[in-house]
């Protein structure tokens, strides 16, 4: 299409006033005062054969974050779940129990409020809150900016608590080493097949609120079976952040992975 008069298409022509132009085309011509020019042109169309991943920007930034974490030996976890499954409570209990032993840093992701960051800050663990506003997930450039402010030290653990949402965060790599999906037994057993992308992209699955099991009609085997159908690599931890039950196994995993991470990065 001619970029000036819009001819050559059946679309809308947009012209600025007081700007004269003239050209001849096959099919029509128009001449007017001011100037004239004859040309044949191929309408200047360029086809770009792109084949580019739509999430490439996020993936590049995530790779950049991951490189930084590896260089500084910062073991980074991305905690994902639906709202209310107990991500912050698990984090609080973990920090309370292990903060004397290990160096923790936390990035909290929520649409609004500093509430979660305040809970972590009360434990004297360095924390940054990312408020996504209308956004439903964290993206890698938000982590990049948050890390610059948080300045995590070498040989530490960075916990990123994503926005409570079992759909969108699954698509956005933040540069983490492991993704942890949390589900509580007050939710349905079929969450893994209702939201398969999240369970498919996770490395471990923490099942929270196990202290409520005697009071609920929840089939644990069914949950695990559904989750394994989606991702047979998933490793399960059954915990209660409230009573502390089962948390030791999760801590052992964390320490072991931290050690593996150190070996890998040296």
Binding site for another protein (CB under 8 A): 1, 3, 11-12, 43-58, 135-137, 139, 167-168, 170-172, 192-193, 196-197, 200, 226, 228-232
The distance of closest approach from Cβ of residue 21 to another protein in the complex, given in angstroms and rounded to an integer, is 15
Closest approach of another protein to the CB of residue 95, in Å: 29
Beta carbon of residue 52, minimum distance to another protein (angstroms, whole number): 5
Residues 6+ apart with CB under 8 A from 187: 82, 85
- Give first-to-last CA distance, the chain, whole Å: 58
CB of 50 to another protein, least distance (A): 5
| Of 71 and 136, CB closest to another protein | 136
Q: Choose between 42 and 266: whose C-beta lies nearer to another protein.
A: 42
Locate 171 and state its tokens.
């698509």
Residue 182 parent element (H or E): strand 178-184
Q: 101-129 burial, b for 16+ CB within 10 Å, e for fewer?
A: ebbbbbbbbbeeeeebbebbeeeebbbbb
Q: Which residues contact residue 36 at a Cβ distance below 8 angstroms, ignoring those fewer than 6 apart?
A: 22
Write phi, then psi, for 68 (nearest 5 degrees): -65, -45
3-class state of residue 175 by DSSP = coil
**In terms of CB distance, is 79 or 157 closer to another protein?**
79
Report in angstroms how near the CB of residue 45 gets to another protein at its nearest: 5
Closer residue to another protein, CB minimum distance, 62 or 247: 62
Task: Output 114 or 167, the one with its CB closest to another protein.
Answer: 167
The nearest distance, CB 210 to another protein, in angstroms, is 24
Beta carbon nearer to another protein, 58 or 208: 58
How is residue 234 written in tokens? Answer: 């998933």
CA distances 223 to 130, 164, 194, 236, 247, Å, are 31, 20, 11, 11, 19
């Amino acid at each position: 299409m001619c970029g000036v008069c819009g001819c050559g298409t059946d679309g809308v022509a947009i012209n600025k006033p007081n700007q004269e132009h003239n050209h001849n085309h096959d099919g029509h011509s128009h001449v007017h005062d001011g100037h004239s020019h004859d040309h044949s042109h191929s309408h200047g169309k360029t086809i770009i054969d792109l084949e580019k991943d739509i999430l490439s920007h996020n993936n590049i930034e995530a790779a950049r974050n991951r490189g930084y974490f590896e260089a500084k030996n910062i073991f980074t976890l991305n905690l994902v779940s639906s709202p209310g499954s107990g991500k912050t409570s698990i984090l609080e209990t973990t920090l309370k129990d292990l903060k004397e032993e290990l160096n923790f840093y936390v990035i909290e992701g929520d649409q609004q409020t500093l509430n979660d960051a305040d809970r972590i800050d009360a434990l004297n663990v360095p924390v940054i809150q990312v408020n996504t506003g209308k956004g439903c997930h964290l993206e890698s450039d938000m982590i990049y900016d948050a890390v610059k402010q948080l300045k995590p030290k070498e040989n530490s653990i960075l916990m990123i608590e994503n926005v409570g949402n079992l759909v969108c965060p699954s698509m956005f790599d933040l540069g983490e080493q492991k993704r942890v999906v949390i589900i509580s037994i007050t939710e349905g057993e079929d969450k893994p097949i209702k939201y398969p992308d999240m369970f498919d992209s996770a490395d471990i699955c923490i099942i929270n609120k196990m202290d409520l099991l005697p009071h609920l009609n929840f089939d644990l085997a069914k949950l695990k079976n559904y989750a394994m159908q989606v991702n047979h690599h998933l490793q399960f931890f059954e915990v209660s952040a409230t009573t502390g039950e089962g948390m030791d196994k999760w801590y052992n995993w964390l320490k072991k992975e931290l050690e593996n991470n150190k070996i890998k990065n040296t």
